[in-house]
């Protein structure tokens, strides 16, 4: 924020005022958005509750009517009537079933007609509607079924012409000769408007629209009377919704919710315009905006006074300091008087006292510089003593040789071999050259692997697949060992089964030296692999896979793009690290 400190105080205060204003507007906007969300959530909960009530009401009415239908279909007198072929006996039976059917029609509000049709040619209807329902016989099976909206004209006795037909195929269960055989049909003609007995609520000044759709997507009931009986093309998108959504219907944005009506194969849809739902919120937003503008207007006057009372004495002090620097208007011993806030008076007094102390402070500064120089000299001497006390690498190498000789004398060949390999690795690491042949690098890696094999016994196998020409390629020193170590420690060591380590080197079509280190270990989790590929510095901060990240950085630093490492891993399947290096033979360097 150094660039901001270069602004004048007036500009900084102006930025502060603007930031405060922006913050207030942002808070207001967030408040408005939250209130919109709360209103929408409350409306959705309220609407969902209504839809659930309608759904339960439709289910109760439909199930009640279907139960009546089944009771009629399997009434003994009704089955006798369906099977009777003689006209006289059929007439006698019709007197019995007339009472049954009329009582059934009166049991549930909305049942307009009850119709029985036998395969023997018998039929009976409480209102003479059999001529309308026969055409739909192929829709009904052994289970009750409610059709979509059908047009039936009963004349002036029954108003309206939009009805549901509930029907079922009737099978004999009493007569020995007809048991299990289809003997006829039984139908209920149901007033579509009576399928639900709940009234439609209203929200505010405008109605919340409810649409009851049958299985053919026709509207059979709604508090929008003009839409009843029509096709619901404009609601097709709404009928497919599973959760509250906002759609454009009738040319305006509507909040839509749906409920399935499985008993009749239909759908219940509610819609409410956004502008109706958010009317009160918009009024609140306007009032708060007026209050905000009024508050800003009131605060402008005191803010201007405070800014002037602060800036004027600061400007005086600035001119005073500039006069001291140029020695044109004042001398260091001249006093300054600042008019303004109490703090400015204190500041001028302290500033005058500061000039009185400049000489003594200057001398103190010189003394401090002398002490600092002495401290720096002591520090250099301490660093020299530390360097002189460090262990000489050649001494450490000679110590390894001594341990190897002692192990050989004592007959502990395992220790001798491990120390010999360790000595070889140490001598290789302090070798002066930064680039070595791949052959030398692999010799060092082989020494490291022998140490690990001694540690892990037969826990893993090692396979080398090296193209002879690749052995002559030059590589950075100690480039393979960290990756091999990473494969053993993080990949193979946690593995419960026997592992395998593959080191492969070849020359690709682009004259690049491609080295692959692959294990069949535990692999990496997806999030770790993603972090390694996208942001390796973060894993460095966590001390994870430091060796791998350092190798990748070394290759980028030495050779640049497009060389480096590529990492592939799958959890419980293993890890593969691929080097891409420029191929340079030994004679090249």
> What are the structural domain ranges in the chain?
46-277, 280-356, 454-588
* Residue 74: strand, helix, or coil: coil
pLDDT for residue 51: 87
| Highest CATH level, class, for 46-277 | alpha beta
β-strands 460-466, 499-507 pairing: parallel
Beta bridge mates, 24: none
Could you give the CA distance from residue 172 to residue 183 in angstroms, rounded to a whole number? 6
Return the pLDDT at 387.
37
Cα–Cα separations (whole angstroms), residue 375 to 362, 369, 382, 385: 20, 10, 11, 15
Render pLDDT for 290-329 as a digit per residue (tens, 0 to 9).
Answer: 887 888 888 777 777 777 777 777 776 777 777 665 654 4
**Best CA proximity match to 241, nearest among 207, 201, 213:** 213
Query: Are 255 and 289 within 8 A, CB to CB?
Result: no
pLDDT at residue number 438: 94
pLDDT of residue 4: 64
Look at the block and give the residue holding tokens 């960290």: 482
Segments of 128-251 assigned E as strands? 145-146, 150-151, 162-171, 182-191, 209-213, 219-222, 245-249
According to DSSP H, which parts of 240-278 are helical?
Answer: 274-277
Residue 148 CA to residue 52 CA, distance in Å, equals 21
Peptide bond into 238 cis (omega under 30): no
Q: 97-124, pLDDT tens digit by residue?
A: 888 888 888 888 888 889 998 888 888 8
Chain centroid offset of residue 295 CA: 40
What string of H, E and C letters represents the secondary structure of 422-463?
HHHHHHHHCCCCCEEEHHHHHHHHHHHHHHHHHHHCCCEEEE
On the question of a common fold for 46-277 and 454-588, the answer reads no
User: Alpha carbon 87 to chain centroid distance?
Assistant: 74
Residue 154: closest CA among 131, 123, 122? 131
Q: Are 15 and 9 in contact (CB under 8 A)?
A: no
Cα dist from 424 to 27, 420, 444, 488, 589, whole Å: 69, 6, 7, 20, 24
DSSP 8-class letter at 492 = I
Which contacts qualify for 86-93: CB closer than 8 Å, 24 or more apart? 90/122
Phi-psi map region of 251: left, alpha, beta (phi>0 left; psi -120 to 50 alpha): left
DSSP annotation string for 171-187: EBSSSTTTBTSEEEEEE
Rounded Cα–Cα distance for residues 359 and 365 (Å): 10
Given CATH 3.30.565.10, say whether it is the number of domain 454-588: yes
Which residues of the chain are under the pLDDT cut of 50? 205, 328-331, 379, 382-392, 394-395, 541-543, 588-589
For 490, counting Cβ atoms within 10 Å of its Cβ (0-12 exposed, 13-18 middle, 19+ buried), the class is buried
Which phi and psi (to 5°) does residue 337 adopt? -120, 125
Q: Give the number of other CB atoms < 10 A from CB of residue 5.
A: 7
Among 98, 75, 193, 216, CA closest to 146:
216
How far is Cα 75 from Cα 332, in angstroms, rounded to an integer?
Answer: 121
Which helix H or strand E contains 392, and what residues bound it?
none
Helices (H) and strands (E) in the chain, counts: 17, 18
Which token pair is 17? 């005022």
């Amino acid at each position: 924020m150094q660039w901001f400190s270069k602004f004048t105080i007036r500009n900084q205060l102006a930025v502060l005022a603007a930031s405060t204003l922006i913050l207030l507007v942002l808070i207001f906007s967030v408040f408005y958005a939250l209130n919109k969300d709360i209103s929408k959530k409350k409306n959705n909960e309220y609407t969902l509750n209504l839809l659930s009530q309608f759904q339960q009401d439709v289910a109760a009415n439909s199930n009640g009517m279907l139960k009546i239908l089944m009771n009629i279909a399997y009434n003994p007198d009704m089955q006798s009537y369906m099977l009777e072929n003689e006209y006289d006996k059929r007439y006698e039976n019709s007197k019995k079933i007339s009472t049954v059917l009329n009582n059934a029609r009166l049991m549930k509000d909305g049942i307009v007609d009850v119709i029985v049709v036998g395969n023997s040619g018998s039929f009976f209807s409480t209102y003479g509607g059999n001529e309308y329902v026969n055409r739909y016989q192929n829709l009904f099976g052994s289970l009750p079924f409610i059709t979509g909206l059908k047009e039936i004209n009963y004349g002036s006795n029954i108003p309206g012409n939009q009805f549901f037909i509930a029907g079922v195929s009737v099978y004999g269960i009493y007569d020995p000769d007809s048991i299990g055989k289809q003997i006829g049909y039984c139908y209920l003609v149901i007033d579509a408007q009576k399928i639900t007995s709940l009234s439609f609520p209203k929200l505010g000044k405008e109605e919340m629209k409810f649409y009851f759709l049958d299985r053919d997507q026709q509207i059979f009931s709604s508090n929008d009377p003009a839409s009843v009986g029509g096709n619901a093309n404009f609601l097709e998108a709404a009928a497919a919704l599973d959760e509250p959504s906002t759609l454009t219907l009738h040319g305006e944005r509507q909040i839509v919710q749906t409920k399935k009506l499985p008993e009749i194969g239909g759908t219940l849809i509610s819609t409410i315009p956004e502008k109706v739902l958010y009317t009160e919120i918009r009024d609140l937003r306007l009032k708060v905006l007026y209050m905000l503008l009024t508050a800003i207007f009131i605060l402008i006057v005191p803010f201007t006074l405070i800014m002037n009372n602060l800036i004027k004495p600061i400007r005086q002090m600035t001119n005073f300091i500039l006069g001291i620097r140029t020695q044109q208007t004042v001398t260091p011993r001249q006093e300054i008087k600042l008019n303004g806030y109490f703090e400015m008076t204190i500041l001028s007094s302290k500033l005058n006292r500061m000039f009185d102390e400049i000489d003594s402070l200057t001398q103190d500064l010189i003394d401090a510089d002398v002490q600092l120089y002495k401290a720096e000299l002591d520090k250099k001497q301490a660093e020299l003593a530390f360097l002189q006390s460090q262990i000489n690498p050649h001494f450490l190498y000679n110590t390894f040789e001594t341990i190897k000789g002692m192990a050989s004398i004592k007959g502990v060949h395992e220790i001798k071999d491990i120390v010999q390999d360790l000595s070889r690795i140490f001598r290789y690491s302090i070798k002066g050259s930064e680039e070595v042949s791949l052959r030398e690098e692999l010799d060092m890696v082989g020494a490291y692997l022998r140490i690990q094999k001694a540690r892990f016994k037969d826990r893993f196998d090692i396979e080398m697949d090296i193209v002879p020409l690749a052995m002559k390629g030059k590589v950075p020193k100690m480039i393979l060992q960290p990756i091999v170590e990473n494969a053993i420690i993080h990949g193979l060591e946690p593995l419960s089964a026997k592992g395998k380590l593959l080191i492969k080197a070849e020359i690709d079509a682009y004259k690049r030296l491609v080295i692959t280190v692959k294990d069949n270990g535990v692999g990496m989790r997806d999030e770790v692999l993603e972090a390694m590929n996208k942001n390796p510095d973060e894993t460095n901060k966590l001390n994870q896979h430091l060796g791998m990240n350092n190798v990748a950085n070394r290759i980028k630093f030495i050779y640049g793009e497009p060389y480096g490492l590529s990492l592939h891993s799958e959890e419980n399947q293993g890890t593969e690290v691929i080097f891409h290096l420029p191929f340079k033979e030994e004679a090249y360097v």
